[in-house]
Homo-oligomer: A and B are copies of this chain.
Amino acid sequence: MLPGVGVFGTGSTARVLVPLLKAEGFEVHALWGRSEEEACCLAKELGIPFHTSRSDDVLLHQDVDLVCIYIPPSMTRQIAVKALGIGKNVVCEKAATAVDSFKMVTAARYYPQLLSIMGNTLRFLPAFVAMRQLLGEGYVGELQVCDVRVYGPSLLDQSYGWTCEDLMGGGGLHTVGSAIIDLLSYLTGARARRVHGLLRTFVQQNVSIRGIRRVTSDDFCFFQMLMGGSGSDAVCCTVTLNFNMPGSFVHEVMVVGSTGRLVARGTELYGQRNGSKSEELLLSDSGWAGPEVTEMPLPHLQGLCSMVKALRQSFRAHEERRSWARGPVAIAATFEDGLYVQTVVEAVKRSSCSGEWECVEIMSQEPDPNHNLCEALQRNKN
């Protein structure tokens, strides 16, 4: 029996998610929006019976067993942790900081019987599922290099908001880079040990953001990660993100090894073994039968679709509508993966400031909120 769903968010992802959930047989009972108007408007459009701007109304809704959280990063932790505390299963987007991510990990560990996954949809895209399997089977031999490029139009919203603010979780690195960081650890089975990066905000003002307001989030970012191994064994990953290219969308993930290579271009997978003269198409685009969505790149859209299918399989196996099977969602990113990704994002930002390679050190206990205060007191004493 499928659980009832409550959705947080009225953005483009929520707008796509609800029809996908319905198509798989989920009932969406409640929608939360930041304002009554936004919530009301979208609920009407999508045919959701209940809407609200108060988060508890969704979290405590008796028909809601699964909560999908697609809201600005700075608000995610609060809702996700509360949802788990109330006993709801959670699918959510990334948080804004490593501290927030750590709090989410703590909650997820405390409620292991509840589903708690990050909505990193690229893991579910058939091209990447196949790529991971081929990597495991040794298609490329010993993995040497991963090379990722994502180019597209501006990520900024029409009006000034969190997407413009670095500290609110806006910017190419946080929004798109984090999906790539997660994907690469999924594909390689390894984690970044050291990172180096450079962030830029080329467009600091535009037609709708002007006056004293400036964009602080990055629209260009490249970073390198040394993953797994130690020293020269490490896999070299390079990622280039450029969101100053309206009218184009490039999403290319290449892995190169000692005996061959694999490239996912958009939703298609190509491969070439060293002996071969040309690339072979390993997985073609199956065509997108769902609703047309221009704001969401196809790899994310199709990945989202596959993730919803996996969720259905996970829940359908059980009588009780809140119980779920781990198998179908085993490839999903856990909250621990979310913490890792957030840690890498912050290390890349540090590197962009320091100009140096930065180590990726996963938080193992919550920083003392009085730490800064203590330091200040110390300084005054000396």
Contact = CB atoms under 8 A, between A and B. Distances in A.
Interface stretch (A1-9, A183-191, A273-281, A285-293): A273-281
Interface in A150-184: none
A196 B220 CA distance: 17
B247 A272 contact: yes
Oligomeric state, in number of copies?
2
A324 interface: no
Interface stretch (A34-42, A236-244, A294-302): A236-244
A224 interface: yes
A198 B247 contact: no
Interface in A191-247: 196, 198, 200, 202-203, 220, 222, 224, 232, 236, 238, 240, 242, 244-247
Contact of A247 (B202, B276, B356): B276
A123 interface: no
Contacts of A275: 246-247
Contacts of A145: 202, 220, 242, 244
Q: How large is the interface on A (under 10, 10 to 19, 20 to 34, 35 or more residues)?
A: 35 or more
A222 to B, nearest CB: 5
A9 B13 CA distance: 61
A382 interface: no
A86 to B, nearest CB: 46
A236 B248 contact: no
A136 interface: no
Interface in A331-382: 355-357
A31 interface: no
B246 A274 contact: yes
Contact of A357 (B261, B279, B355): B355
A276 B238 CA distance: 29
Contacts of A274: 246-247
A222 B220 contact: no
B240 A147 contact: yes
A30 interface: no
A147 B248 CA distance: 16
A307 interface: no
Interface in A250-264: 256, 258, 261
Contacts of A276: 247
A144 interface: yes
Contact of A242 (B256, B277, B355): B256
Contacts of A355: 196, 356-357
A192 to B, nearest CB: 14
Interface of A: 144-145, 147, 149, 196, 198, 200, 202-203, 220, 222, 224, 232, 236, 238, 240, 242, 244-248, 256, 258, 261, 272, 274-279, 355-357
